Chain A
């Protein structure tokens, strides 16, 4: 028992979790033909079949039952009233992911066999809204009302001590749907994690229909016809956003330290402050001098690195894996696409720099609150 628990604690660490996700993600959601082939060969697509669905669901359920029944620390986090919806979210997202992918793969097969997709009906053969849609809606409304009423009766809304500005709880957490942003604060300063990235997320989401010029796959589930689009979207949404929320909610305790699902939230544990800025690495550790007084000179390496990320990576990507997109999208769309993709990748990039080198900031100009 304890061995299982410490194993789960271990693999829930952001370092391990993200590495596992990164290493497997593109095989599960293949962005191109090569990954698709591997996916086929290893039969990973089987998880979207009925059997696969049952397996995923059972594993999830077993995990929550196991933890919920046997572990006190686990109970404390999952039964916190405001955390309950996130468990619903985990099951909901898993179920609908499965439902969507299942239909997509079924349609892929039909398309490959030159059959019409499942959604296709003779355009002349329509049904009347009254009663065919109205009764579906009616049932949905009743089920939803019943569900909410029962939820309301069973689970009391939380009310803690009266507000007291002098006594800040540890940890202080934002509402759960913003915990992805709060979790980003570990790696990026608030001006990026709290302002620039959210803006980019909103703008980036809005930009999707204007960047994605693929005319196929409109109005029916499919995967094979739009591999890259789905893969990138899933990476941002599932691979980063949902996972960050889960980490932020369930696995961050006092002092924003990481705690595995079965670990006690020890508030005496202080975060190890061993993070070092790039400028200190270069000037102090390697060149063995003091930090230069001139800010630009001091931070020049960080600027070069970030400049390089946004200046050298684009041409390399354009000439290699993104060549097709550049030709299809044209300069304007492609540039927006690149900026968004590079920004998305900047998050895991910084995470790994932190984990591997204890890197704090690439560019650190606290004088002007400009830290990256």
Chain B
């Protein structure tokens, strides 16, 4: 450290020269030289998602609006608060609603539900704005076409995550919003029993698509939004969709680097 007096080591310098510290942080103390700073990024599994050096425009907020990074950060917040919520929430018709009330009234730091819910809204907004920024800077153009497509999948998954989570409070708002959404599945062409072409999905006299077997039924695990739907949405929301979105995020970040880093002129 520059300001530590000659001959006298600061506390941080002492700590950062211990064997324990050096075993955890491969580059040692606060990096001051150019080389140390570069190694600091390269030698850290989280930081090394970044390149070591960037063109100047790429670190300006007015270029990226920070929206991709914030989308990811909000996703992390959602993961952490989501895990905390899972400690208390039981996805059954009997308990779900009461657990919601308890989350606000009995649990210490009872704003996890709020942060999780508003975070979910926020993530939808930041992902949209990120897409908007990428469009405006023309950053989907070659060689980044595929990463744009991956981004569209991420957007869809973000919406699905939000949608599946909407049911879990098991209040009027929840079941009716999901009912409206899931009922659209009934009208899927060929795959919904009220959809055009459903009558064609027939082998001999056996109907393949009917109220007990169609897109909407698969979504709801029943004819109505009920206990089975709650379980299905819970599993998708807490495990299925996060698992898939993380895979696509990994691809997305990896491609940002492989496509030549953040886009820029020339």
Contacts and interface: CB of A to CB of B under 8 A. Distances in A.
Interface of A: 82, 85, 88-89, 92-93, 96-97, 99-100, 103-104, 116-121, 123, 125-134, 136-137, 140-141, 144-145, 148-149, 151-153, 155-165, 167-169, 172-175, 177-178, 181-182, 189-191, 193-196, 202, 205-206, 208-210, 212, 214-222, 226, 230, 233, 237, 365, 368-370
21 contacts: A85-B125, A93-B129, A96-B129, A116-B265, A127-B54, A128-B53, A129-B41, A140-B70, A148-B118, A149-B111, A163-B97, A167-B172, A169-B176, A209-B148, A215-B141, A218-B139, A220-B265, A226-B138, A230-B135, A369-B194, A369-B198
A129 B173 contact: no
B225 interface: yes
B163 interface: yes
A181 B73 CA distance: 28
A182 B136 CA distance: 28
Contact of B129 (A92, A182, A212): A92
B74 interface: yes
B100 interface: yes
Nearest to A191: B187
A144 B74 contact: yes
B186 interface: yes
B186 A190 contact: yes
Contacts of B122: 85, 88, 148
B66 interface: yes
Interface stretch (B3-11, B32-40, B237-245, B247-255): B32-40
Interface in B84-143: 93, 97, 100-101, 104, 111, 113-115, 117-119, 121-122, 124-125, 128-129, 131-133, 135-142
Interface of B: 31, 34, 37-38, 40-41, 47, 50-59, 61-63, 65-66, 69-70, 73-74, 77, 93, 97, 100-101, 104, 111, 113-115, 117-119, 121-122, 124-125, 128-129, 131-133, 135-142, 144-145, 148-149, 152, 155-156, 159, 162-163, 166, 169-177, 179-181, 183-189, 192, 194-199, 224-226, 263-266
B73 A208 contact: no
Contact of B169 (A159, A212, A222, A226): A159
Contacts of B140: 208-209, 212
Given A127-B59, A208-B140, A209-B140, A161 B135 contact: no
Given A162-B171, A163-B172, A202-B156, 6 more contacts: A153-B111, A189-B187, A212-B140, A217-B138, A237-B132, A369-B196
A205 B118 contact: no
B172 A175 contact: no
B175 A129 contact: no
B125 A88 contact: yes
B80 to A, nearest CB: 11
Nearest to B130: A96
A241 to B, nearest CB: 9
From B156, B162, B173, B226, residue with most partner A Cβ within 10 Å: B173
A129 B163 contact: no
The 9 closest A-B pairs by CB, nearest first: A194-B184, A152-B114, A209-B145, A190-B187, A85-B121, A219-B263, A119-B57, A191-B187, A370-B196
Contacts of A88: 121-122, 125
Nearest to B230: A163
A175 B181 contact: yes
A136 B172 CA distance: 42
Contacts of B148: 206, 208-209
A118 B133 CA distance: 16
Contacts of B225: 163, 165
B199 A156 contact: no
A369 B187 contact: yes
A151 B152 contact: no
B265 A126 contact: no
Contacts of B52: 128-129
Given A96-B65, A148-B118, A220-B264, A160 B172 contact: yes
B144 A209 contact: yes
A94 B147 CA distance: 26
Contact of A169 (B100, B170, B172): B172
A130 B41 contact: yes
Contacts of A158: 171, 173
A99 B50 contact: no
A194 B124 CA distance: 19
A177 B189 CA distance: 23
Contacts of B58: 133
A173 B177 contact: yes
A104 B181 contact: no
Given A119-B265, A140-B73, A163 B171 contact: yes
Given A129-B51, A131-B37, A191-B195, A219 B265 contact: yes
Nearest to A103: B62
Contacts of B40: 130
Contact of A220 (B113, B137, B174): B137
Contacts of B199: 368
B211 to A, nearest CB: 13
